[in-house]
Amino acid sequence: DAGVIQSPRHEVTEMGQEVTLRCKPISGHDYLFWYRQTMMRGLELLIYFNNNVPIDDSGMPEDRFSAKMPNASFSTLKIQPSEPRDSAVYFCASSLLQGAGEQFFGPGTRLTVL
Amino acid sequence: TQLLEQSPQFLSIQEGENLTVYCNSSSVFSSLQWYRQEPGEGPVLLVTVVTGGEVKKLKRLTFQFGDARKDSSLHITAAQPGDTGLYLCAGDSNSGYALNFGKGTSLLVTP
């Protein structure tokens, strides 16, 4: 398996623009996680899905953020409108199990909002 | 959310030195994971500890889970430049929530 795939790897946009990040989890993994990583706040869980259903979105910063998982092999994280404080590295991860199950991370998308 | 405090935040040492990094919480975890993240990549799992007092070894890395399952340590013997990276601990509270990650210890090993 190719592992978790994320696109794009880098995104530079201007404030107010819509940004869409994409993730393909490892085939057969039932759980998908979206994280945001910054120096100040570390790795923060934004939302996670089980069998394509959002389970916990309490980490989503505000209404400008939304995530979808239309099928088992694809998820998106959308920011609309984007703001400079959204600049961070966004990771997608998938796992077979919740909790003690190993999470497999993608390479991340580095987002810069000017 | 159960907080995981990692210390030190940054550590710079020379090749061949030993080091220990810590992961502490006031909460009890059913298991705890350690990940290493290299620049430009996502974290990769190193080990999972489950039993209080458990010790696991991975070559020069020794992981210990506290007896009360509230804390953990990672000891590296004779550090090498390839050990450079961000070491993250993550706890599972077994309450139906996802893993809680600490902010990590950034380790730099210079030749």
Q: Does B59 have pLDDT greater than 60?
A: yes
* Closest residue, chain A, to B47 (C-alpha): A102
**Does the CB of B99 have a partner CB in chain A at under 8 Å?**
yes
Mutate to test the interface with A, among B33, B65, B103 (most CBs of A within 10 A): B103
Residue of chain B whose alpha carbon sits nearest to that of A42: B103
Q: What is the pLDDT averaged over residues B25-38?
A: 93
Mean pLDDT by 10 residues, chain A (114 residues): 92 97 96 94 93 92 94 97 97 84 94 98
Tokens matching residue A24: 């393909």
Q: Does B10 reach chain A within 8 Å, measured CB to CB?
A: no
Q: Is the pLDDT of residue B1 over 60?
A: no
Q: Which residues of B touch A43 (CB under 8 A)?
A: 43, 88, 101, 103-104
How many Å apart are CA A47 and CA A57, to the nearest integer? 4
> How is A20-67 classified by DSSP, letter by letter?
EEEEEPPTT--EEEEEEEETTTEEEEEEEEETTEEEE-TT--STTEEE
Q: What is the CA radius of gyration of chain A?
A: 13
Mean pLDDT of the B11-39 span: 95
Q: Tokens 């990771």 label which residue? A: A91
How many angstroms separate the Cα of A49 from the Cα of each of A38, A70, B48, B98?
22, 11, 22, 10
Structure tokens at B101: 């990650």
- Give the number of A-B residue pairs with CB atoms closer than 8 Å: 55
What pLDDT does B95 receive? 61
Nearest to A42 among B40, B92, B103 (CB): B103
Rounded Cα gap, residues B50 and B71, in angstroms? 12
Q: Which residue has the tokens 């600490």?
A: B102
Cβ within 8 Å, pair B98-A4: no
Q: What pLDDT, in 10s, does the model give residues B76-105?
A: 999 999 999 999 999 987 666 678 899 999
List residues of A whose CB lies inside 8 A of any B CB: 4, 33, 35, 41-43, 45, 48, 56, 91, 93, 98-100, 102-103, 105-108
